[in-house]
Structure 1
Amino acid sequence: MRPRLASAALLLPLALLLSACGGNSAAESSSDTDGKGSVTLNVGDQKGGSEAILRAAGELDDLDYTIKWSTFTSGPPLLEAVNAKAVDIGGVGNTPPVFAAGAGSKIKVVAAWHGRAKGDAVLVPDGSPLKETAALKGRSVAVAQGSSAHYQLVASLEKAGLSLKDVDVKYLQPADALAAFTSGKVDAWAVWDPYTSQILGSGQGRVLTTGEGVVNGLSFQVAAPDALADKKKSGAIEDYLERLRRAQDWVFEHPEEWAKVWAKDTGLPYEVALASVKRTNATRIAVAVDPPLIASEQKIADTFAGLKLIPGEVDFSAYTDTRYNGDLPPSTTTPRPSRES
């Protein structure tokens, strides 16, 4: 028999994990990774994010610059720090840059990864009568506003011939959404991994639909224009991105080892971390910031502009920089296969 969650508190550490999440929390901690030279690269991170991957993969050795890490609870405040020049570069999901662009922030998407979207899901309780997305009409759905799950919900509803107006949307952050979901106060929850893996592993819910085929599965590194204009910092960013790409390759080859590190760093149960790694985390492949990527993000921007959730129209191409593309494959390249058992 699978263990059930006792309370929403057991998932609270996950609120620190992923850039898909909305929110307005500032940096909660900082640390330094010392290297040679006089350049310091200010990097925005999230719990169990870039620093943890780089360290686990051995990619923080022999640096020619120092990294000052600042840890954020989610993507939106991280991008606020990039805009304020407090952070030179940081990692986020596919939706926070759209909202930052909508606010006119000074940011540039400089690197991208394409992964599978099986962990992006609309969940329903195990005993729910709902069997297909169209059945959500008139039902209540919890989702974090401005998150990747928000767009996944919109796109999934559209695919089923519905719109946001056809459901009772409850804008809740993950901890509150979990409480509402497990207490039966909402009929469904649009969320992302590792929350998806946590719910499935606990036996408290099942997948109604996933983001496969409806969302782009992209995640980004976003830099400050001033850092890109600085020759030394630009060079450090190039090296940093190369290390991140190698580290992601390491994750694919060592899913169990990475899951152990991730679980320890975030407080996730190892089984949940491993399920999330195999379903989503290890599938990411580094891709170019190219026209198809820009078009895909433009569609997200146009969708939220149409919903009046961002002010006015956004030209997403103005918020990208392709200097670090090198010989990377196109953004449409198929992600690595899922290693789910």
Structure 2
Amino acid sequence: MRKRLSMFKGKSVAFTSIVLSAMLALSACGSSGTPAGEAQTPSPAATDGGKKQEVSEVRVGYIPDLNGAPPIVLGEEKGFFKEEGVKVTPVKFLSGPPEFQAMAAGDLDIAYIGPGATFLAAQGKGTILMPMSFSLSDMVLATKKSGITDWKDLKGKTVGVPKGTSGEMILNLGLEKGGLKPSDVNIVNMDVAGAVTSFVANKVDAVAIWSPYTAEIEKQVGKDNMIKLGDNKTFYPDYVFPASWVVNPKFLKEKPEAVEKFLRAWIKANDYKLQNVDETIKLTANYTQVPEDSLREQRTGIEWMESKKIAEALQDGTANKWYENLEKLFVATEKMTEIVPADKFVAPQPFLNASK
């Protein structure tokens, strides 16, 4: 990776000697040796017109996959952040809930989240700026040894799942489909690393996770030794699962101009990504150290949205309906007590302003 991009990488620690070690990393500090919570003095940057503008610093949470990383990678590599007067400090996470914790602590400004963490935004812990894609790759897998072949067979079994994620959402929908309640199953909260290794070692009967970790399981145990119970498509069209970008409400209130600068750069990166998929995969692989093959497998499980379509969904209220429909699931699984109107936690105007 070019020198300027490598400066922005968070530190990562391999957790096993297999390929999975290249795919997963511990949450890390900000880049360039700057702690995520430590601000720097903004410096002037040249605009295309040769004028000086103040550089806005934004601490951004990303997940090292083909959904969460490309805006950071392309924004830096293609100079989109520099063009818009934004200095991004990226911070690596493996799921959404820890990002909200970091925002609550004042250590994070903007972050990418999967659909499973949407309930935390609905609870007021973050403000959704926009949806950016639909997840198609969350699934529940059972070991062949477990004897599970149907959702109803999960009763009394042990299932590993990173709680508060889209994997848990698919699991809960599957349990309902099988006439079961979460209390009918021994659900164990695990990070993605633990879920994969536990499945491979037959320490759990099933797991609820997503690509590329599902592909890693298949590589290690073989397709014949795993049973796919269902995925996102199993519950379509009743449920769609939008991944989103969220902002710390305090940061949005205090620095709306910085948010719009970031979004203008984000839109450029998103449009570039859609037109240059192969290059995006290569650059993202270098940045995240996730093998290109794994990222290409992820691509089949993601439905990306054009920036224009995102703006339309925000403007006509379609996006709000997506989120409120997800809330029904959160209420049913007791993550929320009631459905909160989406306009209470979705702020479309910054993206609409940036897209003009």
TM-score range, shorter chain: 0.7 to 0.9
What is the identity, as a one-letter code, of the residue corresponding to 2:275?
A: E
* 1:110-189 to 2 correspondences below 5 Å: 110-117=129-136, 119-125=137-143, 129-189=147-207
1:195 matched to 2:213: yes
CA apart distance, 1:305: 4.3
CA distance in structure 2 between the aligned counterparts of 1:226 and 1:161, rounded to whole angstroms: 42
> Partners of 2:93 and 2:195 in 1: how far apart?
20
> Hey, what does 2:243 align to over in structure 1?
219
After alignment, is 148-157 or 158-167 more displaced?
Answer: 158-167
| Whole-Å separation in 2 of the counterparts to 1:193 and 1:146 | 16
Relative distance call for 1:127 and 1:249 in structure 2 (3 A) is: farther
> Residue in 2 aligned with 1:260?
282
Contact 1:194–1:273 under 8 Å retained in 2: yes
Instruction: Select the residue among 77, 96, 113 that pairs with 1:92.
Output: 113
1:283 is aligned to 304
Please, which runs of 5 or more residues in structure 2 have no aligned partner?
Answer: 1-15, 35-41, 46-52
User: Larger C-alpha radius of gyration, 1 or 2?
Assistant: 2
Aligned partner of 2:228 in structure 1 is 207
SS state at 1:62 partner? helix
Indicate which of 62, 66, 89 corresponds to 2:87. 66
The number of equivalent residue pairs is: 309
Q: Does 1:45 align with 2:61?
A: yes
Amino acid at match of 2:90: W
Post-superposition CA distance 1:199-237 (Å, at most 9, x none):
23445345331112534221111113333334xx42332
The residue type paired with residue 190 of structure 1 is: A
CA distance in 2, matches of 1:12, 1:324: 37
Which residue number in structure 2 is paired with residue 11 of structure 1?
20
Contact 1:114-1:284 within 8 A present in 2 as well: yes
TM-score (structure 1 length as normaliser) = 0.76
- Residues 248-257 or 175-184, more deviating: 248-257
Contact 1:91–1:222 under 8 Å retained in 2: yes
CA contact (8 A) 2:84 2:262 kept: no
1:115-169 alpha-carbon deviations (Å, 9 max, x no partner): 241x111123467654443433333221111111111111122234333233332
CA distance in 2, matches of 1:238, 1:328: 6
Aligned amino acid, residue 23 of structure 2: L
8 Å contact kept, 1:79–1:97: no
Alignment TM-score, normalising by the size of structure 2 = 0.73
Say which of 109, 112, 124 aligns to 2:128.
109
Q: Counterpart of 2:216 in 1: which secondary structure?
A: helix
What is the rounded CA distance, in whole Å, between the counterparts of 1:8 and 1:84 in structure 2? 33
Give how far 1:109 is off.
0.8
Tell me whether 1:315 sits opposite 2:317 in the alignment: no
With over 3 angstroms needed to count, the CA separation of the structure-2 counterparts of 1:305 and 1:35, relative to structure 1, is: farther
- Per-residue CA deviation, residues 171-219 of structure 1 (Å, 9 max, x unaligned), is 2111111121001122221101221232234453453311125342211
Q: Quick check: 2:57–2:88 contact (8 Å CA) kept in 1?
A: yes
- AA aligned to 1:315 is V
Residue type at the aligned position of 1:41: E
SS at match of 1:320: coil
Asked if the contact 1:116/1:212 (under 8 Å) is kept, the reply is no
What displacement does 1:99 show? 2.7
Instruction: Verify the 8 A CA contact 1:301 1:316 in the aligned structure 2.
Output: no
Identity %: 23
| RMSD, matched Cα | 3.4
User: Hey, which of these two has a bigger chunk of helix by percent?
Assistant: 2
